[in-house]
Amino acid sequence: MASAILALVGTQARIALPPWTERLIRELDDSDRRAKELAGRLSVEQLNWQPAPGSWSVGQCLEHLSISNEVYLPSISAALAENHVAVVAEITPGWFARWFIRSYIEPSSQTKRAPAPRKIAPGSKVESSVLDRFLSTNQSARELIRRAAAYDPNRIRFKNPFIPGLRFTVGTGFEIICGHERRHLLQGERVRQSTKFPGAEA
């Protein structure tokens, strides 16, 4: 039964995905567009330019997001493999998840600053392939979201790869990925808009 539903989600049900999947896929599509506009024509020098010592470059923002997705997505995928199917219309994070996203993930004046975990910290120099890497991880995220459409993202929890003992729901995990991208793409856009950015118009 489960395999039959998964097969349906992967083929015919593409035109009738639950609303939460369509929303998140649109958000990832928008992140792709912003990333291409941000870094699509930058040189290696521009990708690695930092507005201040210790501040991240455009390339480091994209690399951080890429590594984060590469670490997060397998944990979510593994959780899906262990559970039964149950389609729902929307993601409904609990109070703690809403607070966490509002405080540490979404870009806002109230977002708390916290150092990135070492395993997802970007390198000191980023290669020109970083944009393709980011776009590839987002494609993987879209594929996983489509797969997760056959499950209840509000009931299945996954092992958090960054905070041992803390388990978010699959739905919260997807919300974190999309919010995290908005935050660091905005950071990269602010770097690009700096009057000191290499090649910027005076």
Distance CA 92, CA 154 (A): 6
* Model confidence pLDDT, tens digit, residues 86-112: 888 999 999 998 888 888 887 664 555
Confidence of residue 114 (pLDDT cuts 50, 70, 90): low
* Model confidence pLDDT, tens digit, residues 123-150: 889 999 999 999 999 999 999 999 999 9
Distance CA 28, CA 102 (A): 19
* Model confidence pLDDT, tens digit, residues 115-129: 666 777 888 899 999
| Span of 7-16, 55-64, 180-189 with lowest mean pLDDT | 7-16
3-state secondary structure of 126: coil
120: CB partners within 8 A, 6+ apart: 64, 67, 68, 71, 162
The domain ranges of the chain are 19-48+56-192
3-state secondary structure of 37: helix
> What average pLDDT does this structure show over 164-169?
87
DSSP 112: P
Q: Which residue has the tokens 């935050």?
A: 183
Distance CA 172, CA 91 (A): 7
Q: What is the pTM of this model?
A: 0.84
Let me know: does 150 contact 87? Beta carbons within 8 Å: yes
Range 47-55 contact pairs with CB under 8 angstroms and sequence separation of 24 or more? 47/126, 47/128, 47/130, 48/125, 48/126, 49/191, 49/197, 49/198, 50/191, 51/191, 51/194, 51/196, 51/197, 55/191
Alpha helical stretches, state H, the chain: 2-10, 19-39, 44-47, 58-80, 95-100, 130-148, 170-192
Phi-psi region of 126 (alpha: psi -120 to 50; beta: other; left: phi over 0): beta
User: What pLDDT is attached to residue 106?
Assistant: 78
Q: How far is CA 16 from CA 12, 46, 87, 155, in A?
A: 8, 42, 11, 21
Task: For domain 19-48+56-192, give its CATH number from 3.30.565.10, 1.10.10.10, 1.10.1040.10, 1.20.120.450.
Answer: 1.20.120.450
